[in-house]
Amino acid sequence: MIWGVLQFPGSCDERDALHACELAGDGARLIWHESRDLDGVDGVVIPGGFSYGDYLRAGAIARFSPAMEAVAEAAAGGAPVLGICNGFQVLCEAGLLPGALLRNVELRFRCHQVDVIDERSGERLSIPAKHGEGRYYAPEEMLDEMERNGQVAYRYAEGHNSNGSVRDVAGVRNERGNVLGLMPHPEHAVDPLTGSTDGLRVFESMAGRVGA
């Protein structure tokens, strides 16, 4: 499978995302935010960073880019879309995922290794997190509905929710299951050199969604 990794002005994790896709056994290429054409890729990664300077709200302006229009169409067609950190914020702003990301509860930018639990498999993954606006929020009724639909994809393990996310939510998927967003960075946990390769599991499970 071939991933397209979006690149906005202000993205900063797109190279690691490309590398992670390749280590997970897939092809990957960069797609500039002004491109309305996804160039035939099978899935899309929206990487971390500070798209358009995070002005107004994180992800608020990036969602209007030509590439995001193409991503919305691809998502509607069932293509896998993975949003990491700023990418998660962009997907929420674009309405492709439910909820929103708010300032961390302690108002600090947090950068540390966190453990998250894959809600489907029960696997515990050790992945770095680095964000200032990662407090997941959705109204109670929306959360209940999401839990019923199995849309809570990852939860922070006990003691690892440092941003104040509701119900320890670290990542969510859409109802269909082909769009996934999470705050921690699986693309930074793909090489034993940096301590954990658990991030590869996230890329592999998303690649498994092709044709789903």
Partner 1 sequence: MVKARVLIRPKEGILDPQGKAVERALPALGFEGIEHVHVGRMVELEAEDTERLGELCEKLLANPLIEDYEIQTL
**From the candidates 33, 131, 185, 188, which is the catalytic residue?**
185
Residue 45: what residue type? Answer: V
SS3 166: helix
Q: Is 185 known to be catalytic?
A: yes
Q: Minimum CB separation from partner 1 for residue 107, in Å?
A: 5
Q: Which two three-digit tokens encode residue 20? A: 């992670």
If one asks whether residue 167 binds partner 1 (CB under 8 A), the answer comes out as no
Q: Is 85 known to be catalytic?
A: yes
If one asks whether residue 23 binds partner 1 (CB under 8 A), the answer comes out as no
If one asks whether residue 107 binds partner 1 (CB under 8 A), the answer comes out as yes
Out of 2, 12, 100, 210, which residue is the one contacting partner 1 (CB under 8 A)?
A: 100
How many angstroms separate the CA atoms of 85 and 134, rounded?
8
- Binding mask 115-154 vs partner 1 (x if CB under 8 A, - otherwise)? --------------------x-xxx---------------
Binding segment toward partner 1, per CB under 8 A, in 44-52, 105-113, 143-151, 168-176: 105-113
* Residue nearer to partner 1 on the CB measure, 66 or 139: 139
Q: Is 188 known to be catalytic?
A: no
SS3 183: coil
CA 141 to chain centre: 23
The four Cα atoms 122, 126, 128, 131 give a dihedral, to 10 degrees, of 30
**Per-residue three-class SS string for 71-107:** HHHHHHCCCCEEEECHHHHHHHHCCCCCCEEECCCCC
**From the candidates 85, 92, 119, 133, which is the catalytic residue?**
85
Out of 7, 11, 86, 104, which residue is the one contacting partner 1 (CB under 8 A)?
A: 104
Residue 43: what residue type? Answer: G
Q: Which two three-digit tokens encode residue 98? A: 């439910």
Active centre residues (catalytic): 85, 185, 187
Catalog residues that contact partner 1 under the rule CB under 8 A: 56-57, 60-61, 64, 93, 99-100, 102-107, 135, 137-139, 164
